Amino acid sequence: MNLTVFLRRNISLSVLFSVLSMSLAWNVLLLWKAQANTTVATPGARLDLAVDTVIPPLSTLRLDGQPHQVRFGGPLPTILYVLSPTCTWCDRNYDNIVAIGRAKKQDFSFVGLSTGHDLEVLKRYNQTNPLPFDVFLIESDDLVRSVGLAVTPQTALLDTGGRVQRVWSGAMFAQQKDDAERFFGLALPGLRGIPRS
């Protein structure tokens, strides 16, 4: 007995088979669309920064639109903050990074890198959410992926040679917040729009 004859004799199984077939087709279509809208990382690249990675000099734009080469390293360790003006979690994490930037400006150099594509959007974001350190725009998606800057927000500690020592990926709440508070030796205000515990 072939499948068609079997399904005709068992109408409820026929309906189930049809529903499962449509569901499978729908899921394949959704997967295909998701992959088409996803940027594929280059081989060996990460979405977030990896400990022990040395970050090379990065070609960026200053807020005035002028090209600027960001170099890591110097007399103080660096706190690198990666954000995007359209990232909801970056907005929620704003008070935390401002608190760290203001309290620890004597102990660390601070650099902000925006992975957004539009300088005007970054300027508007910086006017309403000014950070206590310079923020630069990275326009190149390839550079963002190759270095590991695709996760926003992301906070990293770099040693005086530009090597990543520690990374807090995502907004600082729960365990991330506790760990950052212990490391920086200060109480963080918590996330905007989320009740403080």
pLDDT tens track for 28-63: 444 444 343 333 333 355 688 999 999 999 999 999
Gap between the Cα atoms of 145 and 88, Å rounded? 20
CB 162 within 8 A of CB 78: yes
Same-domain check for residues 27 and 101: no
Look up residue 40 and give its two tokens.
């594929």
**For position 8, what pLDDT does the model report?**
66
Q: Is position 132 within any domain?
A: yes
- Number of structural domains, the chain? 2
CATH, residue 77? 3.40.30.10
Q: Is 190 helix (H, G, I), strand (E, B) or coil?
A: coil
Look up residue 85 and give its DSSP letter: T
Is residue 26 domain-shared with residue 97, that is, in the same domain? no
The mean per-residue pLDDT over the stretch 55-73 comes to 95
Give the pLDDT score at 142.
Answer: 86
* Rounded mean pLDDT, 14-39: 49
Q: Is the pLDDT of residue 2 over 50?
A: yes
